[in-house]
Structure 1
Amino acid sequence: EEIDEQEVFDLIAPITDPEHPLSLGSLGVVRLEDISLESPPSSRLTTVKVLLTPTTSACSLTTVIGLGVKVRLLNSLPPRFRVDVGIKPGTTNTADEVNKQLSDKERVTAAMENRALVGVVGNMLASC
């Protein structure tokens, strides 16, 4: 079964923002045009790339939002998909640091062992 950008968007758009009772899709944090799927001809793996647009350049929960999106996709997509979640360049001055954290498997695993963080992400995903 083929999975396209619209299906990925539909998986993550309903995620609730941790600060506001609104979805990431309605806030414009996730946008269809910032989702891409890459399948190199020599590989059976497909990389899903999602770029997030924080609501403000000073958003303090950008990493948590990225973690929520990553967890949602890792739990929803078949194992042949790699998930790459990052912050859209130029949208916040912490994009490089957040992107480094979100691409580090060990940091993501450690974050998901933190009970408080698991609770926040669980609340974000409860609407999905």
Structure 2
Amino acid sequence: MTLGLLNANPVVQAKKERLARTQDQHRDYDGLDTLDVYEYVRDIRDPEHPYSLEQLSVLSEDSITLDDKLNRILITFTPTIQHCRMATIIGLCLRAKLKECLPLHYKVDIRVSPGSHADEDSVNKQLNDKERVVAALENPNLRQLVDECICSNEI
């Protein structure tokens, strides 16, 4: 048992195989789809546990909505517990990873799933306030934690 964790024993799902596209699923254009976005973020490591967001069911392909006409992406994630103090860090990880992977013209909104966090409005406000996000990612300690979570491919 790990000391200091609110959810010391999370439910862990088996790691899923990479999602292979069938011939019918290949696109004839260079746009994104939800599977592309999901592949970018599925292996982000949880800040408190040695598991990916996918393994902890914090994130799924169904939690991503893409409107290619408006160049908007909405990601909703579900923290493992109502009082998750790492929800904003998870959101920062998602935002930092997508900033590395997506074309600049996409607008990304990141939110906790409705009813999944006790401080839902505050978390959503922090995750979608550009100035707060920039300030958080300029903090060397937070940036190091975010980088460790998004660069951890060997889960």
Instruction: Settle same-fold status: TM greater than 0.5.
Output: yes
TM-score (norm 2): 0.77
Q: For the residues of structure 2 that align with 1:39 and 1:11, how far apart are their CA atoms? A: 17
Report how many aligned residue pairs link the two structures. 124
Structure number with greater Rg is 2
Tell me whether 1:24 sits opposite 2:53 in the alignment. yes
The 8 Å contact of residues 36 and 49 in structure 1, kept in 2 or not, is answered as yes
Offset of residue 39 of structure 1:
3.6
Distance in 1 (alpha carbons) for counterparts of 2:152 and 2:48: 14
Identity %: 39
- Kindly report which structure 2 residues correspond to 1:6-25, keeping only aligned pairs within 5 A, or say none: 6-25=35-54
Give me the whole-angstrom Cα distance separating, in 2, the residues matched to 1:34 and 1:14.
Answer: 15
- Deviation of the 1:126 alpha carbon: 1.3
Query: What is the match of residue 67 of structure 2?
Result: 38
SS at match of 1:86: strand
How many angstroms apart in 1 are the aligned matches of 2:34 and 2:100?
17
Runs of 4+ in 1 over 4 A off after TM superposition: none
Counterpart of 2:90, as a letter, is I
Partner of 1:55: 80
List runs of 5+ in structure 1 lacking aligned partners.
none
Q: What does residue 10 of structure 2 align with?
A: none
Give the CA deviation at 1:31: 1.1
For normalisation by structure 1, the TM-score amounts to 0.93
Instruction: Give, in whole Å, the separation in 1 of the partners of 2:82 and 2:58.
Output: 12
Where do residues 26-105 of structure 1 align in structure 2 (5 Å cutoff)?
Answer: 26-40=55-69, 45-105=70-130
Q: Are the aligned partners of 1:74 and 1:83 in contact in 2 as well (CA < 8 Å)?
A: no
Unpaired stretches in structure 2, ≥5 consecutive residues: 1-29
Aligned partners of 2:41 and 2:97 also within 8 Å: yes
